[in-house]
Amino acid sequence: MGFSEAQEELVLRSWKAMKPDSESIALNFFLRIFEIAPAAKPMFPFLREDAPLESHPKLRAHAVTVFVMACESATQLRKTGDVKVREATLRRLGATHVKAGVADAHFEVVKTALLDTIEGAVTEMWTPEMKGAWEEAYDQLAAAIKEEMKIAA
Ligand code: HEM
């Protein structure tokens, strides 16, 4: 599926604007997931310990990873027309998410949280086109992970 140069530019431009503040934006992103879907919380084994969400280093790491992977997938989509996460990584991601009990609905929650967070972070830079570009990048990455999940299930 096509991903245009303009879409890639929008993702990269907003990513660049967010990068200096990526730690706190990534944290907002994951807090937003649990705001939308509190039921997702027990899925993260490292959250079962008794510590506030804000203080979880693994939570921050996961949020940054999802951001970076969506961004990288945008670049790859334009270059090759396909999501290019290394084969081994994609395979592992499929297995991890099956094991964690992640379902399609969770991917939708994460998508909404991601878009909300970027909108809040880039403020006046946000446009329907920018939203569309991030949606496309995320959808294709999520589809690739879901494909691997089917194989791993
Ligand atoms: C773990 C990426 C969506 C829940 C991971 C890991 C990565 C990752 C890189 C680390 C483990 C590994 O490398 O195997 C992504 C990406 C996503 C996504 C790129 C979307 C495009 C989701 C969704 C959920 C979720 C929708 C459910 C709310 C988890 C859980 C773990 C995990 C529970 C295991 C944490 C642990 O046990 O340490 N994810 N993820 N992820 N992810 Fe995601």
At residue 68, the pLDDT reads 82
Q: How far is the CA of 129 from the centre of ligand 1 (A)?
A: 27
Give the whole-angstrom CA distance, residue 80 versus residue 1: 10
Which ipTM did the prediction report?
0.94
Q: Which residue has the tokens 């970076």?
A: 68
Q: Which tokens is 100 given?
A: 């964690």
DSSP 51: S
**Closest approach atom of ligand 1 to CA 109:** 26
What are the tens digits of pLDDT across the range 92-114?
999 999 998 888 889 999 999 99
Mean pLDDT of the chain: 85
Average pLDDT of the residues in 120-132: 95
Q: How far is the CA of 98 from the centre of ligand 1 (A)?
A: 10
Please state at what angle helix 57-80 crosses helix 22-36, rounded to 10 degrees: 100
Is 6's C-beta closer than 6 angstroms to any atom of ligand 1? no
Give the whole-angstrom CA distance, residue 22 versus residue 63: 9
* Total count of residues recorded for the chain: 153
